[in-house]
Amino acid sequence: MRLVFVVNDAAVEIEAVAEDMTLVDLLRDLLGLTGTKRGCESRTCGACSVLVDGRLTRACRTTAQDVESRHVTTIEGLRGPDGDLSDLQNAMLDHGAVQCGYCTPAMVVAAEALLRRNPSPTRAEIRSAINGILCRCTGYQQIVDAIEATSRGRRAARSSGETASTAHSGSSQ
Amino acid sequence: MTKLKYVGSSNLRNVDGIEKVTGQTRYVGDMTVPHMFVAKVLRSPVPHALLTELDATPALEIPGVRAVVTAADFVDQGNYGWPIKDAYILAHRKVRFVGEPIAVVAADNAAAAQAGVDAIVVRYDTLPVVSDPLRALEADASLIPEVSPTGRGNLCNTHLVRNGDPDPLLAAAPALFEGTYDLPHQEHAYLETEGALAIPEPDGGVTVYVNVQSPHINRNNAAMVLGLPVESVRIIQPPVGGAFGGKDDVLYQTTAQVAKLALLTGRPVRLVLSRTESMAASYKRQAMRIHLKLGAESDGTLRAARADLIVDSGAFASTTPLSSWRATMHAAGGYRYDAVQVDMRTVYTNNGYSGAFRGFGNTQATAAIELAIDELAANLGRDPLDFRLQNCLRRGDLTMTGAPLGSTIGLADCLEWVRNRSEWTSKRATYDAQPADAERRYGIGVACYFHGIGLGGEGVDFATATLRVEADHSLTLTSGLTDFGQGSRTIFTLVAAEMLGVTMERIRVLRPDTYTAPDSGPTVASRASVVGGNAVRVATSKIAAMLDMSAADLLGCEPEQLVRDGEQYVGPDEEPATFEEVVDHARELGFQLSAQGRWQVPEIEWDFERGTGVPYFGYVFGAQVAEVEVSRRTGRTRVVKMWAAHDGGRILHPTGALGQMYGGIAQGLGYALMENFRFENGIPQALDFDRYRIPRANDMPEIEGTYIETHLPEGPYGAKNLAEPVMIGAAPAIGNAFAHATGVRIRGFPLPRVAQRK
């Protein structure tokens, strides 16, 4: 099939792609976006998580025809406004939420999806939002800390009228 | 002493964090190079069989297939292994476990490679499967290794401790406890599977990018089986997506396989294992059966212990002879005894194969002794935490092996901390009084541990590091010890920055590469911070001395008169010189601004034949408390909260250290509640994350953790180790909390759901 969709705010056209090619293969092998990881074949590890029209999606469960005309956001599209690290990415580093880094892109994507949907999540809600992504290094606690701190920071920025260095890309639907 | 800028600071970021948090990190599976072939592996579907026929040539007739290798393509059929040379790069003459690699095919693409694998003709003449370690020891059991290393069938090796004679003390003890514990296999489940990319070099050599823990050992091994001089094999470690002990032997195989295919085809070859392959082909934590006999006085004073361990090594020895030694050295726990004897036997079976995994044998040993100590305390009517405080190792005590403890002993402090923070006493009383038929019952349990620092008697424990000042005044640091997510690169950087009085941003740590980094032995045993950090300290001190001389010369004073203001050097006249000026002047003086540092752990002496001596030069300690909720209806156990305290000496990087603790507890929680890599008649029962469950965010409780800071004189800035031992208290603490909640004592993991319904 001929595929037209939007990846990280840029229109992408691929002339010939198998309809059932998975989105993870498409992103990694055709578009070179290797921040989206493969971790299993049983569709359970969540390392390939991306946003499709803003919704958290496992790229291994999604095919080329599923994303026709849609907006896909990967880790490569989740930077702060100036191309710097987003507040969430900074918080991940400050809270020690990154060890081997293999699940980190998916965690960042999942956290952005959560915070856009629910700006004031409880720790339990944060845990549920990342429950689909396996991490073997961190025990999740510092990831939860980082997401909680980001949510606090964004609320404070909003109430004082400032713009937080929120990741801006990929929210268009 | 001057105030430290980086050591102990809570504001440190991991030096490779930015590339990871933006998705730019290139793991080996993310590397694609021009004209690259991909490889696929033929693996044994049976646990034990003779390979009566193996014809790989049909694979070469498949379009797109470029080469295929079998054992015949390697020197000495690819025989390798340390400390026992009993394994093969590809199966030779027989297969010994499900998942053992037999042949590897390189092709233009994955589909062709798989078709090539499917075309290989192989016939298995099945042999009796040996799955029960006790059965493996019987005289008529089918022999698994080609040659028995002990001359006694499937007995792989033995270890012992002889510290006095416990038998008369046990016979006379008013309180006696005896129990047998079954600790299962555990899968590392690093999120990044094993992978290697080999690139042939014009000079006949080969470069391999591979996510291995120990690049130099891998290089030596690959050179041996390829028949190349070691200089012709270059191993580069790209960023590694988790290891936990699991990324050595299995990648020695992978490395040699792709290297050979690259040499045969003259093209780059990449092999990345699928999850199912990874789970079948990689080594596991050893399953152990541990029989314990403990004797105490009526007042609770522990007197004597006897332990017998049977360790399932599986098809190959791998590092099991070493981890079983560590299990032997810790089998009676961190307590004072008058006499202890331990006997350990490692056994070959067809249950996959086992090797290094976080805790390195002490995870299983501590699980058994801590469940047993709890039961003994209960039999004596004692509070289990009080009982531990009464008997735990303190200053001046000898360990269970009869050896001195070293100078820093924080065990009692750790126990006190978890008791206070968890509100142990009141919760214990509340849960004691809860109705027996409540739908949700709660319990609180404790476990503590001691853990020898470094390799001990496992081998020469050294590391080497180099540091040089570049033309642009930046610094380049190398170490043969590696970082697979635990933060060693950050630790090395902060130690060098602290000593040299420069910013961490000025220092760049090269990726481990056998062409640039000196051999430092294996990155195992949580030794990177202490041993690797000390090597960095030694290298840095040499550069610092040259720069001090330069600065003193520049500022017209003695080196002792210099003070530092940020990176600047300041002389007695308060005139500053920048770091750059001092470097440039040092070069004018003719100094070569590069240095190498080597550090070796103080010598220890263990008599392996007699089971006596000093196994380690020092120890770390810790205690953990778990609070659990058990549902009567579902039988499900949920960990509500955990508290953890660890004596890791001086903590260099507190945020990273807590991350190690939380992650270690998650692996311990998984071991207690859900992970159980089971073999049935040699067949692995779970080869994906659906059936082999590891903890998810909702499975994990909130953890309150701390480090009880002591000061190890030998450690860099007083640091001890922590990454492995922080996991080993979790599983038994959860098991003991489960017993408190349900009244059901368990003798192994994972917690049985059936028993929970009682």
Where residue A166 falls among pLDDT bands split at 50, 70, 90? low
Which amino acid, B232?
S
Q: What residues in B contact A143, CB-CB < 8 Å?
A: 697
Least confident of A74-83, B212-221, B296-305: A74-83
CB under 8 Å to A5, separation ≥6 — which residues? A11, A12, A67, A68, A69, A70, A71, A72
In CATH terms, the superfamily for domain A87-159 is: [2Fe-2S]-binding domain (1.10.150.120)
Least confident of A7-11, B369-373, B486-490: B486-490
Beta partners for A55?
A52
Question: Using CB atoms, which residue from A34, A92, A137 is nearest to B242?
Answer: A137
User: Residue B18 and residue A85: Cβ atoms within 8 Å?
Assistant: yes
**Pairing verdict, β B175-183 and B155-163:** unpaired
Instruction: Output the CA torsion A69→A72→A76→A78 (10° steps).
Output: 120
User: Residue B274 and residue A105: Cβ atoms within 8 Å?
Assistant: no
At B436 the pLDDT is: 85
What's the pLDDT tens digit per position in B236-253? 999 999 999 999 999 999
ipTM of the complex, rounded to two decimals: 0.96
User: Residue A102 and residue B27: Cβ atoms within 8 Å?
Assistant: yes
User: Residue B688 and residue A42: Cβ atoms within 8 Å?
Assistant: yes
For A:142-171, CB contacts with B below 8 A are 142-144
What's the pLDDT tens digit per position in B328-376? 999 999 999 999 999 999 999 999 999 999 999 999 999 999 999 999 9
For A:60-99, CB contacts with B below 8 A are 74-76, 79, 85, 89, 92-99
Q: What residues in B contact A100, CB-CB < 8 Å?
A: 190-192, 239-243, 484-485
Which amino acid, B478?
T
Domains of chain B: 17-24+462-600 (3.30.365.10), 31-127+194-272 (3.90.1170.50), 287-456+608-756 (3.30.365.10)
Where residue B34 falls among pLDDT bands split at 50, 70, 90? very high
Q: What residues in B contact A39, CB-CB < 8 Å?
A: 191-193, 275
What's the pLDDT tens digit per position in B631-679? 988 999 999 999 999 998 899 999 999 999 999 999 999 999 999 999 9
User: Residue B17 and residue A93: Cβ atoms within 8 Å?
Assistant: yes
Mean pLDDT of chain B: 94
- Beta strand spans in B233-316 (E): 233-236, 269-272, 287-296, 302-314
Q: What residues in A contact B659, CB-CB < 8 Å?
A: 96-97, 99, 137-139, 142
pLDDT at residue B517 greater than cutoff 90 = no
- Calculate the alpha carbon distances from B103 to B118, B233, B460, B533 in Å: 11, 22, 35, 41
In CATH terms, the superfamily for domain A3-77 is: Beta-grasp domain (3.10.20.30)
Could you give the percent of chain B with pLDDT greater than 90?
87
Question: Using CB atoms, which residue from A47, A136, A142 is nearest to B694?
Answer: A136
Sketch the domain layout of chain A as residue ranges.
3-77, 87-159
Q: How far apart, in Å, do the first and last CA atoms of chain A sit?
A: 23
User: How far is A44 from chain B, CA to nearest CA, in Å?
Assistant: 6
At A160 the pLDDT is: 87
The CA-CA-CA angle for residues B193, B194, B195, to 5°, reads: 115
pLDDT at residue B294 greater than cutoff 80 = yes
Nearest to B185 by CA among B367, B364, B325: B364
Q: What residues in B contact A126, CB-CB < 8 Å?
A: 697
Where residue B2 falls among pLDDT bands split at 50, 70, 90? low
What does the DSSP assignment read for B269-293? EEEE--HHHHHHHS-BBPEEEEEEE
What's the pLDDT tens digit per position in A89-134? 999 999 999 999 999 999 999 999 999 999 999 999 999 999 999 9
At B600 the pLDDT is: 87
**Pairing verdict, β B637-647 and B702-707:** parallel
At B531 the pLDDT is: 85
User: How far is A3 from chain B, CA to nearest CA, in Å?
Assistant: 23
pLDDT at residue A169 greater than cutoff 60 = no
CB pairs under 8 A between A and B: 173
Where residue A171 falls among pLDDT bands split at 50, 70, 90? very low
pLDDT at residue B758 greater than cutoff 50 = no
The dihedrals phi and psi of B49, each to the nearest 5 degrees, come to -165, 155
At B347 the pLDDT is: 98
Mean pLDDT of B429-439: 94
Which has more pLDDT, B220 or B601? B220
Mean pLDDT of B496-518: 92
What's the pLDDT tens digit per position in B437-487? 899 999 999 999 999 988 777 677 888 999 999 999 999 999 878 777 778
Which amino acid, B58?
P
pLDDT at residue B1 greater than cutoff 50 = no
Q: What residues in A contact B484, CB-CB < 8 Å?
A: 100
User: How far is A65 from chain B, CA to nearest CA, in Å?
Assistant: 22
- Mutation target to probe the A interface, by most A beta carbons within 10 A, among B21, B192, B483 is B21
User: How far is B345 from chain A, CA to nearest CA, in Å?
Assistant: 31
Closest residue in B to A167 (Cα) is: B22
Residue B60 C-alpha from the chain's centroid: 40
B524-538 b/e with 16+ CB inside 10 Å = b?
Answer: bbbbbbbbbbbbbbb
Q: What residues in A contact B726, CB-CB < 8 Å?
A: none
Mean pLDDT of A137-161: 95
